[in-house]
Amino acid sequence: MFKSRSSNPLNDDTPGADTHNDSLFNLYSNSDSASSLWHYPIRYLNRFLPFNTHNKTNKCSKIIGTEEKINVATECQATIADPSKTSSTNFGSINTLIQKVSNQSFKRLTQTSITSQSLLFEMMDACQQFTTAAITNSPATLMANQIQLYQQQMQLLQNSLMTAIGAEKEPLIQPEKGDKRFNDKAWSDRVFFDYIKQSYLLSSNSILDTVEATEGIDNKTRQRLSFFTRQWLNAIAPSNFLLTNPEVLRITKETKGKNLLRGLKQLAEDLEKSAHLLTIRMTDDNAFILGENIAATPGKVVYRNRMFELIQYTPTTELVNKRPFLIVPPWINKFYIVDLKQEKSYIRWALNEGHSVFIISWINPDQSYKQAGMETYMHEGLLTALTTIEKITGEPDANVIGYCIGGMLLALTLSWLAENNQSQRIASATFWTTMFDFSDPGDLGVFIDENIVKALEQEGEKKGVFDGRLMGIAFSLLRENSLYWNYYIQNYLKGERPTPFDLLYWNSDCTNVTAALHRFVLRELYLGNKLIQKGVLQFDNINIDLSKVTTPTYVVAALQDHIVKWKGSYQSTQVLGGDVTFVLAESGHVAGIINPPTGKYGFYTHHVNVSDPDQWFELAQKQDRSWWLHWGEWISNYSSDKVPARQPGMDNHGNEWSVLCDAPGEYVRIKAAEALA
């Protein structure tokens, strides 16, 4: 049994503390005995922390409940500006600071939104349905899984005891491929931690298997229950806790606890920048400067209204394609996913291929944009951009690319143009990972049902926008071990600074979504699945019918995409009225699209779009090259004529065109929190 520090305190003032804990660390490092470690973790930890909470006066009760506004990040900077120089003289200040950080975290947890409450009720309802179904319909399965888990745990205990006395035993279970939580050698070499690891993995698998095997619950409920069960299991993983993570304990020993001070400081900084849920830094924000080492392709902002800035990029070839092309990015992220580092920049590649490139940079909206819906984004966004491009280039049409939700806007606009006899304004359309059929929305479906959408609508009515920071967390939790908990361990337990990574910098640079736009996408598309239904979706005084869209289209989906399932994207081949070229790229939602011609990922394609996507995949041929090259061949059919390169700031008559600023513009610099301040 663990002994609490309050009953047997051991700290730097205790005689023999150094000797005791050094020998304990040697025991951890060198002994194969598991049982002897059970008595020590809490006492062991206290030796290496340069602070402790064993004070005569508990200040926590005074802090919790206070209405005083505390800038904990500022206090952290003042108290532990340099963790390496922390001394025993400011341990009391650090202890108070810990209590303030805890209090701030507690306050955020109690500021539960309507949406969070709805999610909680949905989870509780799913648990109730599961319990009833398990007892009523699958009692034998439930009992069998319990017996199997008991037997496995007994076998594991026996194996661990045998290993402790020198026997060699094969592990009962190993982490899944790609699970990096237990990579440190101590998870396997030290009996104590190997036991914890295997016990956790066996229990997790048993619980998830029980959820999957229980009869009598619908697929939607099962999916939601599996998702939230997985979240809970991954949250309580032994790797996430100081006393059960051997790597963190070793670092704590080596740094004498300064890793935890650094972690505390970074936690306080992240809390200051978070909404009511903790947003964990994934990369070094200071390593990137927009316009210098990211989003740095030269260009000019040639138009601006309240919804977007239009960027025209500086050509890199003497001749360019006569017909310009426009990129419509999603509004839930910043546009520069297509303009990361130079070697990964789609924009730069397209310029080098001789394209005349324009892109929309959406505003990061505040509460005043509450009523700006999909119609607004079409009229004041995409259609206005096309009109501006025509004025600059003199060309009456353009090739248009829509990425993710930007592709949904493009699809609606194509239908609107067809209904209004203006289809000629878009010569060709390219869709990147765009959902057409929402019957299987993937993991995002766990956040979407009638009750949750109603809660989101109430939240939107109250606040005007959906906070992009919360959306970012939701997307991170779809891959929680690689996009959330690993950074929790790295930043707060190990005390390491995140490494610079352009993709993660972009991923963290979130945007808010207007209430009207959020409501339309969730209710009409995700819940109603109306986009592929003829004449069902009412949009800007027309009934959407994609079969009337005869514009030639190129559709790219990603095989491992967990946000937009490729089969939902494939349905574009069945509902669009024109010629459709469908390409299935390897990798996921981002890496499958941002795939420069370096041979990293290939793609699949087939000339016949059969009705069954599985059959299409069986017929498809794989090409071991980037789909960018394939698209370049396809788009040449719609942009073969050449003209002298168009310089931003000049129209097609040689007259000056007003330039507002250099790329990447001003709207891209607005942070989600700043917009809501």
Which are the catalytic amino acids?
A: 404
Three-state secondary structure readout of 497-531: CCCCCHHHHHHHCECCEEHHHHHHHHHHHHHCCCC
507: nearest Cα among 362, 358, 672, 361: 672
| Contacts of residue 337, Cβ cutoff 8 Å, sequence gap at least 6 | 329, 403, 503, 506, 590, 594
From the centroid of its chain, how far is CA 296? 23
* Dihedral sign, Cα of residue 44, residue 48, residue 49, residue 55: positive
Query: Which H or E run contains 538?
Result: strand 538-539
From the centroid of its chain, how far is CA 485? 12
* Dihedral sign, Cα of residue 442, residue 444, residue 447, residue 449: negative
576: nearest Cα among 549, 597, 603: 549
270: nearest Cα among 528, 472, 552: 472
522, HSE (Cβ side, Cα atoms, 13 Å): 23
DSSP-derived 3-state class of residue 86: coil
Cβ(169)–Cβ(34) below 8 Å: no
Three-state secondary structure readout of 574-613: HHCCCCEEEEEECCCCCCCCCCCCCCCCCEEECCCCCCCH
Amino acid at 542: I
525 φ, ψ (degrees, to nearest 5): -95, -60
Q: Give the C-alpha separation, 657 to 303, whole Å.
A: 10
How many other CB atoms are found less than 10 A from the CB of residue 435? Answer: 32
359 φ, ψ (degrees, to nearest 5): -145, 150
Strands 325-328 and 398-403: parallel
Three-state secondary structure readout of 119-155: HHHHHHHHHHHHHHHHHHCCHHHHHHHHHHHHHHHHH
Cβ(254)–Cβ(47) below 8 Å: no
Query: Which H or E run contains 547?
Result: none
